[in-house]
Amino acid sequence: MKRILALDYGDKKIGIAISDPMKIIAKPLMVINNLSYKHILFEIQNLITDQHIEKIVVGLPLTLKNKKSIQTKKVLKFIEELNKDINLPIIAYDERLTSKIATQSLINQGVKTGHNKKDIDKTAAAIFLQDYLDDPTK
């Protein structure tokens, strides 16, 4: 059984989450440092092989007014590059407010978020992946 990988793209780090094989539950997995596209691609290709990935969901950071921001354009360019190098479906999925939700969730669990930005990134990826998994229209 295959899994779905979620990527929360950022200028410095990319939060990674993964579904269970039945595609019911999302969980935070890791963070990839955004050192270069080549480095990111290498890490993602390893995850695809090691975790038996069949699809990638990339968080699309739209504004609260449903507009594209500078970061949205960076993510769309990243998705365009991934589509050239990875032969899997790659889906852009609305990730608005997931970083704030992730931060609050971690605080509620007693995790200090000041020095744990990596936890926020991978938790945000898990939040929008879970939303994707729960979406009956996907």
Q: Token pair 């939040």 is at which residue?
A: 127
What are the DSSP E strand ranges found in the chain?
3-9, 13-19, 26-33, 53-60, 90-94
| Chain segment 14-47, per-residue pLDDT in tens | 999 999 999 999 999 999 999 999 999 999 999 9
CB 64 within 8 A of CB 94: no
Domains plus CATH for the chain? 3-134 (3.30.420.140)
- In a structure prediction context, what are the per-residue pLDDT tens digits for the chain, which is 138 residues long? 899 999 999 999 999 999 999 999 999 999 999 999 999 999 999 999 999 999 999 999 877 677 787 889 999 999 999 999 999 999 999 886 555 555 556 556 555 555 556 677 888 899 889 989 988 776
Stated pTM of the model: 0.84
- Confidence at residue 24, expressed as pLDDT on a 0 to 100 scale: 95
